[in-house]
Amino acid sequence: MSDKTYQPPQNIKNPYITDFPSYERMYKESINDPDKFFGKRALENLSWIKPFKKVHNDNFLNTKWFEGGKINIAFNCIDRHLKKNSNKTAIIWEGDDPNQSKEISYKELHNKVCKFSNILKELGASKGSRVCIYMPMIPEAAYAMLACTRIGAIHSVVFGGFSPESLKDRILDADCSIVITADEGIRGGKTIPLKENVDIALKECPGVKHCLIIKKSNSTIQWIEGRDVSYD
C-alpha cells in the first residue's frame, strides 16, 4: 500500500508551524527546557491579568502550572479578538442534522456570553459558585461554559444523554447551586426530555436553588415557580 500525501488548502495562510524541521526544533526545545518553552508561549499567546512567577513546580503528586498568575479564560477566548477580528467566525456549530449549521462571530459570541453572564449573576452566581450544564449540542452550551469562566464560576458539564440518576449524582458530587438545561434535545434523531430528567434529578438535590432553561421547541414542560428561570 502506497502512502498518500495531502497538501493543505491554499486558503490556510501563515501557519504556526511552517514545516516539519520547525516542528522538530520546537519539540526538542519543549523536551530540553520545558519551563522556557511553555513560559514563552504562555506570555506570547495569552493575556494575563497578573503574570505568573513560576512556570511549574516539580511536585509530581501536586503539580501546579503558572503559579502566581491570574487569567480570565473567557477574555482570552473572546475579548482579545474583538479589536481586529470581531466579524470573523469564532464558532462553527453543526446540529444533529448536518444540514443545520451556524457560524457565530466573535462579536456575536461576546454579546451572547455577556448576556449569559449577567443572567447567572442575577441568580446569585459569582466566583467559586458551582454550575451544572446539562444541555444538548447547541451554541448555548458554549455560551454557558464561557459565561461561567467569565465570572469565575466553576462549571460541571454533564453529558446530555445521561439518566436522571446519573445527573443527580454529578450535581451532588459537584455541590451545584444552579443547573442550566434545555426543554429537550435531539441526539441521533431521538428526542431527549432534558427538563423532565432535571426535574426528577432535582427532587434529591436540595442545594440547587435555580434551574435556567433554554427553550428550543414548542414542547410543554413542568415549571417550578421560584426555581425555574427562562433564558429568553
pLDDT tens-place string over residues 146-165: 999 999 999 999 999 999 99
For residue 224, which of 208, 205, 211 has the smallest C-alpha distance?
Answer: 211
Look at residue 59 in the predicted model and tell me its pLDDT.
82
Look at residue 127 in the predicted model and tell me its pLDDT.
96
What stretches in the chain show pLDDT beneath 70?
Answer: 1-2, 8, 10-13
Residue 155's DSSP bridge partners are: 131
**d(Cα 187, Cα 46) in Å, to the nearest integer?**
35
Q: For the chain, where do the domains classified as CATH 3.40.50.980 start and end?
A: 76-230
For residue 213, which of 167, 168, 177, 180 has the smallest C-alpha distance?
Answer: 180
CATH 3.40.50.980 matches 76-230? yes
Look at residue 1 in the predicted model and tell me its pLDDT.
54
